[in-house]
Amino acid sequence: MPKSSEDADDTIAAELAALRQDLARLSDAMGTLLQTQAQGAGQRVSDAVDDAKAKFTSTAADVKSRVTSAGDEIEASIERNPLTAMLISFGVGMVLGMMSRWRH
């Protein structure tokens, strides 16, 4: 009987050691999986930020180009019709002056 008890103890000890090894491997695998997922999420966020930055830069360049173009057109129009530009400026000034009087 004692021999059978020792064999059972040895078997249980061996199974517990194997269980500990399995748990250690499972823990390592979970750690690796979580690290990989975190890196993937970080890369996706980084890619999204880069895309947004590129779109913003492109949009800013487009807006700058349009404003410059509109300014050039206005300048050319003023050079072609200086009297009209002066009358428009005078009219806008009068309207703003009248509006400021009404508030007081």
d(CA 77, CA 50): 40
pLDDT, tens digit, 9 for 90 and up, residues 26-67:
988 998 888 888 888 888 888 899 999 999 999 999 999 999
Q: Is 38 helix (H, G, I), strand (E, B) or coil?
A: helix
| Rg, Å, the chain Cα set | 39
pTM for the model stands at 0.46
Contact 85, 78 (CB under 8 A): yes
d(CA 65, CA 17): 72
d(CA 30, CA 22): 12
